[in-house]
Every structure is written in C-alpha cells, then in structure tokens.
A and B are shown apart, each in its own frame.
Chain A
Amino acid sequence: MKKINSVNDFVIRFANVNGSGSASANNLFAKAIFRLGIPVSPKNIFPSNIQGLPTWYEVRVNGDGYLGRRGGYDVMVAVNGQSLKIDYENLLTGGYFLYDSTRPLPDDFRRNDITVIGIPLTRICNQEISNPRLRQLLKNILYVGALSHLLDMDFSVLTDAIKKQFIKKPALAEPNIQALELGFDYASRHFPDSCQISVKPGNTLTNHILMDGNTATGLGAVYGGATVAGWYPITPSTSVIEAFDKFTSQYRLDDSGRKKAAIIQAEDELAALGIAIGASWNGARAFTATSGPGVSLMNEFLGLAYFAEIPVVIINVQRTGPSTGMPTRTQQADTLLCAYASHGDTKHLLLFPCDPKECFEMTADSFDLADQLQTPVIIMSDLDLGMNDHVCLPMTWDDNRQYQRGKVLDKEKLESLTGKWGRYLDIDGDGICYRTYPGTHPEKGAYFTRGSSHDEFAAYTEDKDAYQRCMERLKKKWETAKDFIPKPHIKISDRANEYGAVFFGTSTHAAYEAMDRLKKMDLILNTMLIRAFPFQDEVLDFINRHEKIFIIEQNRDSQMRTLIMNECSIGPDKLHAVTNVDGLPMTARDIFHSIWDTLNPSPETQTGQGEIK
C-alpha cells in the first residue's frame, strides 16, 4: 500500500458531534499550523442544528499558499459514531484514519488501502482525567496531541497556544496541556512511524492574521462610522452584529459609559432595514446584516431607498438557497436578487469582498459610497467567508482619513445658496443632488421624502416629463458610480491569450489555484477578479479581448454570467459557465476539470475520473 506522503500539503478532516466542545480543539490545531508559519484554510461543515448531529471541520494545509478548498481528505479524525462509516469510506487511498479505539471498529470496516490509527481516547480520559466534567472536552484535545506526534508538529506551539488562550485562567491551561501530552505519548509509543505526512515550520506567511469574515465586517462598520444598526437574527449573518456589538461596547463608550451606537434587534428583516434607512435619512450612518431570505423581505425598502435616494448599507452573508435552503452551507446565489432588488427599474451597488481584509475595507468604504451616491450599497459576503477563519494580510487604518458624507447642505450652506434649492435638482450634472438633514434650518431645506414619483423639488408629481427626468437622472447617477467603486483586478499573463477566467468573492483562491494547475498543463488564461457592480469599461474590455471566457461562480444558474450579458450587452456564446452547486466551497480541482474538459473534450476526461493531485 502506498501511503500519502507530503510535507505541508494535505487535507485533514475532523468528524465530531456538534455541541460537544470540539470546536476549540479543532481551532487549536488550525491555529498551531498557522503559528508555524504555514498557510492553513479551516472550514466548518456544520449542520443546521444545535446539538447532537455530525459536524465536520476540514483543514487544508498548504505551504504554497493555496487556500481554496482542494477536495478529498488525506487524514480523518473520526470521533462521531453517526458518521463513522461514511468518514471511513470517503478517506482517500493511502490516507490515515484516526479513531477512538476504546470501541473497536465494526467488522465490515475492511479497507486495506489506508492506515488505521486507533487511539483509545475515552479510555485514556477516564483513567487519567479525574474531573468527569472535563473528560468530554479534553478528549478532543487528546487527539490534537496525538496529531502533533503523527505529523511531526512542534509540540511547543500547541502548549504556547493553550497558555495564551487561558492567560486569564492559568489553572485551566494545566489539564489541557496534560491532555495534549497524553495524546502525544500514546501516539509516539504505538505509532512511531505510521504517518508520512509532516508539518515543517514555514515562511510563506509574513505578517498575516487568521480571522473570520464576519468579525472583520463588524469591525469595518465600527471604523466606517456606523452608529445605528437594525437587524434580525439569521444564519450566517448574526455574528456580524455580535462583532459590531462587542467592538462598540469596548471602543464606542463616552466618558459616562454610554454608547455611541444604537443596535436594535428588530421584529423582522423589513423593520431591520427600515430602522437603518430611517437613521441614515436622518444623517446617522446605519446598516443591517442579513442573508438571502432577509434580502427577499427587504426588497420593498430597497426600492424606496433607491428611488428616494437614501444611503444605506446592507451586509448579505449569502447562504444556500432557494427559500430556506441549507442555512449552514455557502453559495453565491443572490447576485441577481441584489443587483436588481425591488419592482420597477432599480439597480444597486454591490461590493464583492474575497477575504477578511476586504470585508473590513469594503464595509468601511461602503458607508462613504452610500453617502456619496445616496443609494443602497450591498456587501456580497457569504457563509464560507463569514463563518470560517481565513488567512489574510492585516488591515490598517489611515488616521487622517475623513468620512465622505457626500452632498449635504448644513445651515451655513443653506443660507449662502443662491437660487432655489431642490432635493432632486441636479446642479453638478453627475446625477447626484444635495440633501438636508431634519432640524437643520428654521426656514430652509425642509422637504418631503417619498417613494412616490417626485419632481426636482420633492413634490409629488404625475407629470410624465418630470417622472422621466428623474428616472434618467438616476441612470446618470449609476454611470457616475462607476468612478467611485473598486475596479476589477485583471492579470494579463500573455496578451495573445484567447482565454480568460472571471470570478469574484470566495471563488478567488480556488480559481487562482486552478489557473496555476492549468498553466502546468500549458494552458494559460488571463484573469479578472470582479470586485464591484456596476461594471466599469475594464470589465467589458477584458471580455471583448478574449475568444472564450470562463465565468466561475457558486450557484446553479450562473447569475454573474447573466448579469454580465445583460449589463455589458454581450451574447452568451463566448461566456462559459463554471458552476458549483453543492453548498460547499468550490474546489480548484472542479474548476480545473471544468475548464480543461471544455477546451479538451475526450472520453476519459468527460467522465471526470481519476485523481489529479
């Protein structure tokens, strides 16, 4: 039997029971790898359930820095009886199966192409750990200790991590370290040379951090100056607000301990967005965080904010749809919903972050964008980005930066105005007009905001010319927006290339990795990473210069492809959809095969067999 053999390049999957405290042990493992300077990509595959069902934690370790999901797993730590069979069956040939040998494996577990490593976790815990309440938690720490031996990991990184974690309660560090040592000892005595996968300290990571996207988003909202948040709990966006709450409780208190923020858990998503819009209308930066089902409910208010031109920020942490879908699985399937939300002719600004650093930056920037363009801005995050830890470069803040509040007339400006002011009067020719906040001036600047048709002076009108002027001006404003939003990241490796790949958000890592693999097979594609909507000329130019374009995205109906066709007036023939519909993060392998098979159709490759490592 050929064992899987690698240094700093493998996938390990942990199978636990959710609600059993396994998360801290698994995070410890991932954090240790990270602190050894090796790029690591941990992903939670958890059920929509509170307690008792299988949950998996899949960690890709890759010294080259490929952080997208690879597909398949080389090491399995199987600590959940319910999923034991499928965990066993799906382990790759040559892989390593670690399980709690306190109970022997059933007779029909008979593979001869994997290495089975039995560690009697329960028995050891019962024998060595006196406090019964700690046994369940420490059982998981025990297997981390065992892995440390099996993978040749530097043990001190783990003990340091434990000490840092329990720095405020050092007494708790002791039993954790004991559990690590117990696991390490057992594994080194019984399996001295069983595993040919190893971990060596690396230097690929420099200044990087390991953070989840939702925390970065919440932090971005604090730095972006948000003061009001209306929200409704929904998986996977709740932790955005929890982060905002935590950070404002620490960093937004005045001298008397009162908060410079108002966070209201609303009765539903409609009210959540209504609260954000009301605050923003009144000059306070405001946002809401939700997922697909919430955005569906928010359609009406989005149309109001679009037509009445009220700034507001919506964070959409997308999940698998349609309808309730899979609340704990990821997808990029709200592109069309968000681009065109609400009835009538509406279009909304979208931003596509691809890592926590961008979650922070784009969220902070979105408040400037919303204020300057006086319109909703939607951050298109997703569950993979929001709820998993990602390696990224650290964020920084320019202390000289000022908030861009856009065209707002204060009391002095109102007094110095010559000519009649109109809320919807386009003085500058860019489609953006001047607004006022309530309470500004005793005589000037008051107006009626309405979702119904309005003329330049905010009066209700059914006059066909006035309505048409307003709609055309909104279109002009849309064009102006292109100068404000981030441009796509385009990489041209060869100007003669006929092929290009387009992707966005969490498909990015897997897409770049697939490009590298294709390059090894002498197939080179230029790439375009889309970061915002509307699409600037660069997007159209990129598509026009290539014969074939592969649009890579995680949804069934290739919505980004549809959006590009529609907005850029491009026909479907040269745009090939590369999609992923299973609710798990897309893999480089699938992208590679999809593109390769399209360009090199043959009987074997068309059935997609064979492993490419």
Chain B
Amino acid sequence: MTTRRPHFRHPDLPKNDLGFTRRNYEGADSTLCAGCGHDSISNAIIQACYELSIEPHKVVKLSGIGCSSKSPAYFLGKSHGFNSVHGRMPSIATGSNMGNKDLLYIGVSGDGDTASIGMGQFVHVTRRNLNMTYIVMNNGCYGLTKGQESATADKGSSSRKGRPTPFESIDLCELAVQLGSGFVARGFSGDKEQLVPLLKAAITHKGFAMLDVISPCVTFNNTSTSTKSYQWVRDHMEATATVDFIPPRKEITTHYKKGTSQSITMHDGGEIHLFKSDDSIDITRRRSAIDALEYHREKGRILTGILYINEDLQDTHEILETTDKPMNTLTEKDLCPGNRTLQQIIERYR
C-alpha cells in the first residue's frame, strides 16, 4: 500500500524547544498493512521524540527482521538506522553504543525477533544494562512470513490459522524484571494517551528501558479468539497507574490527591508522576512487579503501564569504566602508545 502524503503543513504547527515541528521527526511512508498496530507505535515514537525536544540526528534507530523491524524507516528520517539480522539487534546496539555513548539508541523488535531467535541476546543486553530504549512491537504472531506461531502468543489463543497455541507463552516484561532491567513497561498501540508518556519515560531513563507494546496484527492475529486482538486487549487491559511525564525545569501544573500517587525522579532531573489505580502495586520493588503480573495473569487480565522502575543502576559504560569521550572521536594521539613504549614492552620478550 502506498499513500502520497501531502507536503503541505499548517504554518502554525506548534514547535518544541528546538524550534522543530512534529514534521521534523517523521520518516518515510509506511508499507505496512492498513490498520497495523506498528504504525500507531511509530506515530507515538514521533510524538514522544518531538515532545522531548530530542535532536533527530542524535538518535540511532536499530531493528532486527520482521514487520516491526521495518518501522524505523517510518519515523525519524534524519537519523541513521540499522536494520540488521533476525534476533541480533541487541549486539549491534551494544557495539554502536560502545562506539558512541552520547547518542540515543532506540531499538525496535518484534515478538519473534525477541522471544524466539533473539531470546539469548535480549537476556544479555538487559543484564548488561545497556543504555537504550528497547521496544517490542508484540502481535503474538509472525507477520512478515505470514502468520506462524509466536512465543508470546498466549496458550490457547488462536490466530487466523485457527489452531490454538499449544505451548506456554513468554511474558517478556516479567522476564525483564527478573533480569534486573531498570525500566519495564507495557503499552498498547491502541492507547496513545498511555503510550506516549511511557515512551518519554523509557527514552529518558538512563540504562536499559524495556517497553513491550501489544500491537495487533490486523492480517493474521486480530481474531475474536486471539488474546492480542484489538477487542480482547481493550476488554482485558489493566494499568498499574496513569503516568504523567514531567521533563526537568517544567513547572508542575496539576495536583493530585495524596495517597494515590507516587513520583520518580529521573537522572536528568525530570519526574514521573504515577496515579495508581491499585495501591498494592509498588513499581519500585521487583517482587511487587512480578507478583502483580502473575496476579493479573491468573485473572486473565493484561497489566500495562510502568511495571518496574529503578533509576539508581549503572549502565554498561559506567560498569566498564569507559572514558568520557565517545570512542569514535578518539584518534592516534589518544589510542596509540607509540614506538618508545613498544620497545619497552618487547624488552620483556628478550
């Protein structure tokens, strides 16, 4: 499907702190199916980056292989992108990040790309706490190869192929909490009001930010028997809290009732305010997060929102104690010990 998007823009489009409009954050036209959840997520990413006043060219977009992995072409057209190989985006992200710690890394993956072939790399990039935003566009099926089973499809759920999934499903959020990820959240492509603040919080979080976004596949997995269909998700969604993202230096203009809200300070001084629907969930404690996920799974509900957050962890660069200047800016002067040192070293081998 191709659409000719008009280049006309309203002259009074609002501008962010950089003087950019939303247009500066757009990418190419999507070639995904009409109504695809991934396009909504792409739009939410555009919105989040625009609202955060991020410099577009300072973002690196990474993806694996799959319908979801095509989406980086549809946002941030001024950013470099790397559509790599199936399941191996985390290693590319790790290496790129090591090469230049000062850029913003957004990785987009799918449920096949992450929960099957990519399961190993997902686990280890989470463990290392790489500073990146990792988005799973989760539709519970393999779209690009036409509808095979995915490891995140719920047991008993049926896609268009009709056969209920016989195997246990992987809950990527619960796994991420167990692996020590400092930011774990779940969204829904059909709820932009929830998704945009989640994205802003994920992008701002320093360290690994995992965002699982249920993103119905209109072609292969939007049936009435599928637990990843628009209808099902809308009917079974719960949220840990309503999230309000406050960037640093912005005045807090809304006030909420005491006792039902919690605020988290981000490393850049901004804040996340959470207005909880359920007081029993404490998203700053791992046990509470996992218990909440299990509790809702028993009830047949999908828990969304920020599931766990910890702003006090060291990211990979801090753990490795790497130098402040990005590696890709270092030259011979910084890197080469010189001939005199070389002769001193080889003295040991005489």
Minimum C-beta distance from A107 to chain B (A): 46
Can you spell out 18 A-B residue pairs with CB atoms less than 8 angstroms apart? A210-B350, A225-B336, A228-B327, A247-B337, A254-B323, A260-B322, A260-B330, A270-B91, A278-B93, A281-B99, A282-B96, A282-B328, A304-B84, A403-B332, A437-B328, A439-B100, A449-B80, A451-B84
Whole-angstrom CA separation of A304 from B343 in the bound complex: 39
A401 contacts B83, C-beta separation under 8 Å: no
A443 contacts B78, C-beta separation under 8 Å: yes
Whole-angstrom CA separation of A452 from B64 in the bound complex: 12
Q: Is A284 close to B, CB under 8 A?
A: yes
Q: Is B157 close to A, CB under 8 A?
A: no
Q: Which residues on B sit within 8 Å (CB–CB) of A35? A: 350
Q: Which residues on A sit within 8 Å (CB–CB) of B121? A: 267, 270-271, 274
Q: Which residues on A sit within 8 Å (CB–CB) of B332? A: 225, 401-403
B98 contacts A275, C-beta separation under 8 Å: yes
Residue of B nearest to A207 (CB): B350
Instruction: Say which one of B53-61, B146-154, B193-201, B215-223 lies at the interface with A.
Output: B53-61
Q: Is B77 close to A, CB under 8 A?
A: yes
B95 contacts A438, C-beta separation under 8 Å: no
Whole-angstrom CA separation of A451 from B89 in the bound complex: 12
Give per-residue flags for A433-462: 1 if the beta carbon is below 8 A from chain B beta carbons, else 0.
Answer: 000111111110011111110000000000
Closest 9 interchain pairs by CB? Answer: A278-B95, A274-B91, A282-B99, A284-B99, A283-B328, A438-B80, A279-B95, A278-B92, A275-B95
Minimum C-beta distance from B101 to chain A (A): 9
Q: Is B335 close to A, CB under 8 A?
A: yes
Of listed A270, A282, A440, residue having the most chain B CB within 10 A: A282
Q: Is A396 close to B, CB under 8 A?
A: yes
B88 contacts A271, C-beta separation under 8 Å: yes
Q: Which residues on A sit within 8 Å (CB–CB) of B303? A: none
Query: Which A448-482 residues sit within 8 Å CB-CB of chain B?
Result: 448-452
Whole-angstrom CA separation of A35 from B93 in the bound complex: 49
Q: Is B94 close to A, CB under 8 A?
A: yes
Chain B contact residues: over half helix, strand or loop, or mixed? helix
Whole-angstrom CA separation of A258 from B334 in the bound complex: 12
Residue of A nearest to B339 (CB): A397
A258-B323, A259-B321 known; A230-B80 Cβ under 8 A: no
Minimum C-beta distance from A210 to chain B (A): 6
Q: Is A266 close to B, CB under 8 A?
A: yes
Whole-angstrom CA separation of A599 from B322 in the bound complex: 60
Q: Which residues on B sit within 8 Å (CB–CB) of A262? A: 98, 317, 320, 322, 327
Residue of B nearest to A392 (CB): B349
A209-B350, A282-B328, A449-B82 known; A442-B98 Cβ under 8 A: no
A438 contacts B322, C-beta separation under 8 Å: no
A446-B79, A451-B85 known; A277-B95 Cβ under 8 A: yes
**Count of B interface residues, CB-CB < 8 Å:** 62
Q: Which residues on B sit within 8 Å (CB–CB) of A451? A: 83-85
Whole-angstrom CA separation of A228 from B323 in the bound complex: 12
Q: Is A30 close to B, CB under 8 A?
A: no
Whole-angstrom CA separation of A449 from B325 in the bound complex: 25
Which of B78, B102, B320, B343 touches A259 (beta carbons < 8 Å)? Answer: B320
B99 contacts A264, C-beta separation under 8 Å: no
Q: Is B202 close to A, CB under 8 A?
A: no
A440 contacts B57, C-beta separation under 8 Å: yes
Whole-angstrom CA separation of A395 from B345 in the bound complex: 10
Whole-angstrom CA separation of A271 from B130 in the bound complex: 14
A residues lining the B interface (CB < 8 Å)? 35, 209-211, 219, 222-223, 225, 227-228, 230, 247, 251-252, 254, 257-264, 266-268, 270-284, 286, 300-301, 304, 394-399, 401-403, 436-443, 446-452
A279 contacts B98, C-beta separation under 8 Å: yes
Minimum C-beta distance from B34 to chain A (A): 20
Q: Which residues on A sit within 8 Å (CB–CB) of B83? A: 448-452
Q: Is B206 close to A, CB under 8 A?
A: no
Whole-angstrom CA separation of A276 from B102 in the bound complex: 18
Number of A-B contacts (CB under 8 A): 221
Residue of A nearest to B95 (CB): A278
Q: Which residues on B sit within 8 Å (CB–CB) of A273? A: 91
Q: Is B248 close to A, CB under 8 A?
A: no
A446 contacts B57, C-beta separation under 8 Å: yes
B57 contacts A223, C-beta separation under 8 Å: no
Minimum C-beta distance from A484 to chain B (A): 20
A278 contacts B96, C-beta separation under 8 Å: yes
Whole-angstrom CA separation of A439 from B97 in the bound complex: 12
Whole-angstrom CA separation of A306 from B95 in the bound complex: 17
B103 contacts A439, C-beta separation under 8 Å: yes
A274 contacts B57, C-beta separation under 8 Å: no
Q: Which residues on A sit within 8 Å (CB–CB) of B84? A: 274, 304, 449, 451
Residue of B nearest to A440 (CB): B57
Minimum C-beta distance from B7 to chain A (A): 16
Whole-angstrom CA separation of A261 from B99 in the bound complex: 9
Whole-angstrom CA separation of A272 from B94 in the bound complex: 10
A260-B330, A260-B334 known; A281-B96 Cβ under 8 A: yes
A267 contacts B123, C-beta separation under 8 Å: yes
Q: Which residues on B sit within 8 Å (CB–CB) of A266? A: 91, 124
B95 contacts A274, C-beta separation under 8 Å: yes
Q: Which residues on A sit within 8 Å (CB–CB) of B80? A: 436-439, 446-449
Q: Is B331 close to A, CB under 8 A?
A: yes
B338 contacts A397, C-beta separation under 8 Å: yes
Give per-residue flags for B50-86: 1 if the beta carbon is below 8 A from chain A beta carbons, else 0.
Answer: 0000011110100000000000110001111111110
Minimum C-beta distance from A397 to chain B (A): 4
Whole-angstrom CA separation of A254 from B82 in the bound complex: 31
Q: Is B341 close to A, CB under 8 A?
A: yes
Minimum C-beta distance from A140 to chain B (A): 22
Of listed A262, A304, A395, residue having the most chain B CB within 10 A: A262
Minimum C-beta distance from B88 to chain A (A): 5
A396 contacts B339, C-beta separation under 8 Å: yes
Q: Which residues on B sit within 8 Å (CB–CB) of A301? A: 85, 88
Q: Which residues on B sit within 8 Å (CB–CB) of A264? A: 94, 98, 128, 316, 320
Whole-angstrom CA separation of A440 from B321 in the bound complex: 25
Q: Which residues on A sit within 8 Å (CB–CB) of B91? A: 230, 266, 270-275, 277-278
Of listed B121, B328, B341, residue having the most chain A CB within 10 A: B328
Whole-angstrom CA separation of A508 from B238 in the bound complex: 70
A254-B324, A437-B328, A452-B83 known; A274-B346 Cβ under 8 A: no
Whole-angstrom CA separation of A606 from B100 in the bound complex: 62
Minimum C-beta distance from B104 to chain A (A): 9
Minimum C-beta distance from B32 to chain A (A): 14
Q: Which residues on B sit within 8 Å (CB–CB) of A399? A: 338-339
